[in-house]
């Protein structure tokens, strides 16, 4: 999609999907570059993509009043009170201008620090981090990933992969369905000033998310290759984001969107 007045600058990222832009309730979904689940190793894109996510989040804070962060894989402690989504005074260690991409990449590539774009946004813009993960579904997916990594039998590999895809879609669907309640609770409790949130999630989940959004349903079919289909239930539930009249924008950081091979691998169409 092309840039429009009041929209995210084109060089920040690619907008894959956008609807209901005038709603006061807005969810921004940004695809991220995963670290390796088993080793924790960063992909070659990670520092650049993290810097671009920070830049996107900072732009949304300044221009759209974003105050709530919902990262995939984040498990919350006690939430802090929201301070307004404006840059705050710091000791200068992590307060980096979003235009300084080189410095952001350096900061976000440090291996011995547990820091990412969402943590920086939370620190520098006083945004609130909230948990959107269902712990049980998260753990089920992690077990499946490890089983797949250890599998050496081709037939068993197809079975595990099919079951893992099912659990991943269930997990992603569950997160999407929780988001309206999380945003509403944060707003009503006074932790945020506007009903606007940024949901960051791995690039591999974007095709499923786009399907759910376009169908306005969270529809998940049973695994194709499992020998034990009785263990699994199909679901087809109305998407709560649509029922709640949320505006939704799906964004890919520019570094990912410009990689044609990566987009082809994940079956994502960009303009």
Question: Is 150 within 8 Å of 164 (Cβ atoms)?
Answer: no
What's the rounded mean pLDDT across residues 181-193?
96
Residue spans per domain, the chain? 13-265
Q: What's the pLDDT band for 2 if we cut at 50, 70, 90?
A: very low
What's the rounded mean pLDDT across residues 100-118?
75
| Of residues 183, 185, 187, 142, the one with CA closest to residue 164 | 142
The 10s digit of each residue's pLDDT in 206-234 is 999 999 999 999 999 999 888 888 889 99
What backbone torsions phi and psi does residue 13 show, to the nearest 5 degrees?
A: 180, 175
Q: What's the pLDDT band for 3 if we cut at 50, 70, 90?
A: very low
> What rounded mean pLDDT belongs to the chain?
87
């Amino acid at each position: 999609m092309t840039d429009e007045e009041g929209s995210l600058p084109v060089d920040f990222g690619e907008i894959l999907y956008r609807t209901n832009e005038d709603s006061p309730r807005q969810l921004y979904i940004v695809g991220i570059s995963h670290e390796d689940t088993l080793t924790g190793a960063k992909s070659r894109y990670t520092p650049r993509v993290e810097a671009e996510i920070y830049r996107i989040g900072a732009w949304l804070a300044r221009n759209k009043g974003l105050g709530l962060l919902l990262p995939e894989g984040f498990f919350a402690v006690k939430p802090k009170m929201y301070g307004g989504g404006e840059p705050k005074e710091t000791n200068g260690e992590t307060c980096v201008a979003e235009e300084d991409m080189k410095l952001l990449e350096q900061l976000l590539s440090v291996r011995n620090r547990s820091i990412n774009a969402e943590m920086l946004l939370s620190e520098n813009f006083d945004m609130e981090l909230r948990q959107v993960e269902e712990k049980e579904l998260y753990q089920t997916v992690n077990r499946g990933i490890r089983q797949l990594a250890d599998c050496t039998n081709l037939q068993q590999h197809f079975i595990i992969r099919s079951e893992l895809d099912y659990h991943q879609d269930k997990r992603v669907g569950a997160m999407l369905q929780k988001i309206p309640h999380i945003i509403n609770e944060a707003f009503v409790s006074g932790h945020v000033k506007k009903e606007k949130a940024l949901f960051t999630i791995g690039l591999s989940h974007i095709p499923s998310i786009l399907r759910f959004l376009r169908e306005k349903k969270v529809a998940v079919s049973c695994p194709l290759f499992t020998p034990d289909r009785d263990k699994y239930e199909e679901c087809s539930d109305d998407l709560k984001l649509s029922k709640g009249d949320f505006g939704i924008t799906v964004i890919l950081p520019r570094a990912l969107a410009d990689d044609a091979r990566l987009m082809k691998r994940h079956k994502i169409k960009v303009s």
